[in-house]
Amino acid sequence: MDPTPDLELRKRLVGIPLPRLSLVSTGGRTVDLTSLTAPRTVIYCYPRTSEPGKPAPTGWDVIPGARGCTPQACGFRDHYRELAALQAEVFGLSTQSRAYQQEMAARLHLPFPVLSDERLEFADALALPTFEVDGMRLIKRLTLIIRGSRIEDVLYPVLQPERSAREVVDWLRSHPVPAP
């Protein structure tokens, strides 16, 4: 029997180093992904958050996994202290522009930076799953847990975005950072 796609993604990504890339963040800095210093880093990737006053992309509500980006971001905001206590640095990541992400991060009061992969460099370097809608190529929702500069685990698919941060907290608790 063939493994399911999520097992294939895990098998392909777990243990590999992050690509040598720098991405702009809502914090106004460029983040070099190979120079992360926290014991663990969590990068939750999501398609896109809605833009106030603008309609959602065509058929957004019926695309599996598309809805829920704002609740997911708010979940990471609400669990931020727990994640920090578990020695994890948190980043959101989408293909939206830094300018839009800055507005969204301020509106949602996010205490962590969001990275812009507007040119899909990160997504393409890791061959992350994507989908297309209204001429936009977007990253499917997934979470990377990183130790050092290597991917330690991949949580995919994320079926309940509003529970994503809680699932990451639970994963980190069950996989404590080894003592030096």
Is the residue at 180 inside a domain? no
- DSSP letters, 41-61, are EEEEE-S-PPPTTSPPPTTGG
pLDDT tens series, the chain, 180 aa: 334 557 899 999 999 999 999 999 999 899 999 999 999 999 999 999 988 888 999 999 999 889 999 999 999 999 999 999 999 999 999 999 999 999 999 999 999 999 999 999 999 999 999 999 999 999 999 999 999 999 999 999 999 999 999 999 999 999 998 877
Is the residue at 72 inside a domain? yes
Is the residue at 97 inside a domain? yes
Is the residue at 63 inside a domain? yes
Torsion sign over Cα 43, 24, 16, 46: positive
Domain that holds residue 23: 5-107+126-174
Counted domains in the chain: 1
Q: pTM for the complete prediction?
A: 0.94
CATH code, domain carrying 35: 3.40.30.10
Between CA 107 and CA 118 the distance in angstroms is: 20
Is the residue at 179 inside a domain? no
Is the residue at 115 inside a domain? no
Q: How many CB atoms lie within 10 A of CB 41?
A: 23
